[in-house]
Amino acid sequence: MPDTFKAILVSRDADKNQSVAVTDLTEADLMEGDVTVAVEATTVNYKDGLAITGKAPVVRRWPLVPGVDLAGTVLSSDHPDWRKGDKVILNGWGVGETHHGAYAGRARLKGDWLVPLPDGMSAHDAMAVGTAGYTAMLSVMALERHGIVPKRGPVIVTGAAGGVGSVAVSILSSLGYHVIASTGRSAEADYLRELGAAEIIAREDLSGPGKPLGKERWAGGIDAVGSHTLANVLSMTSYGGAVAACGLAGGMDLPSSVAPFILRGVSLLGIDSVMAPKELRLEAWRRIGTDLDVGKLAALSTTIGFDGIIGAARDIVEGKIRGRVVVDM
């Protein structure tokens, strides 16, 4: 009999009612790809929570193994860049959306989707960073390319107690930025200060309808919330500043005006982690290895086992989780 491994499978019936179950799969059940990986660690991201709960149309192929990122060891490869025993990371590329993802003992993937695990970083460490941290680093790099360096002034991070926000606060503070953290969870103030936040403001300060232009309060920002929050962040960004938009926890709409763009020269920088080119991914993971304080990963993350994935997915959608959730597979 072929070897089996545990997997989480989301399915739909004829009436499009979604269900989720733990099942046994074999390698014959995996999708196309030229590299097979033993999954050692993964995470529970907000997108994974949406996929498992069905709160948003993340999954677009049925049935499907969710899980948008993983770290593990190559078991077999027909790709010239990878050989058995290599340690690799996967983020995005539709994995966990249209291609079987990380919530299984094994994954078959395209070798072009993979990047090497940075030296000195374990699979667990890589997933404590995960797609959220990789997205945060892409956002930091975008601000840097736009000239938003520490001497330009404060930067704001919205959704600061979440996965992207936590890592963004940590990276920015380690690079010398004055970080303003916006959160709806006042109980997380000490946690955010430990990560390096210099100031903390309430989510309510940014979540309501705002003016086209507000008082200039920061040189730049990283926004994982969207909607009114992003509109308010833009309205309070100083002349020539920039905001990296990488999330939609508060909604996909943007009830803003053109005023910040045409009167203050503010730039809105879109961050896509799913289809980012490999060169950008390699640079982001290299920077993560040098600019993120690995000692803070313990504060950023909690660890669960495979059996805790479904419960954690529900909790993250309900806003009950701070930082990162690492799954030890």
pLDDT digits (tens, 9 = 90+) for 227-259: 999 999 999 999 999 999 999 989 999 999 999
98 and 15 part of one domain: yes
87 and 145 part of one domain: no
Q: Can you tell me the distance from the alpha carbon of 136 to that of 115, in angstroms, rounded to the nearest whole number?
A: 17
90 and 163 part of one domain: no
pLDDT digits (tens, 9 = 90+) for 150-183: 999 999 999 999 889 999 999 999 999 999 999 9
Domain enclosing residue 235, as ranges: 131-270
Let me know if residue 227 belongs to a domain.
yes
Question: Which CATH number covers residue 57?
Answer: 3.90.180.10
How far does the chain reach from its first CA to its final CA, in angstroms?
23
152 and 265 part of one domain: yes
Evaluated on CA atoms 246, 249, 253, 257, the torsion sign reads: negative
Percent of the chain with pLDDT over 90: 89
CA distances in angstroms from 302 to 129, 211, 312, 317, 323, listed in the order given: 12, 39, 11, 16, 8
The more confidently predicted of residues 102 and 1 is 102
User: In this predicted structure, what is the pLDDT of residue 251?
Assistant: 92
Tokens 């993979």 — which residue?
114
Q: How confident is the model at residue 319 (pLDDT cuts 50, 70, 90)?
A: confident
pTM: 0.90
Let me know if residue 126 belongs to a domain.
no
Tokens 């045409």 — which residue?
262
Over residues 191-204, the mean pLDDT reads 95
Let me know if residue 292 belongs to a domain.
no
pLDDT digits (tens, 9 = 90+) for 254-271: 999 999 999 999 999 999
pLDDT digits (tens, 9 = 90+) for 118-131: 988 999 999 999 99
Question: Which CATH number covers residue 248?
Answer: 3.40.50.720
Fill in the amino acid letter for 118.
Answer: P
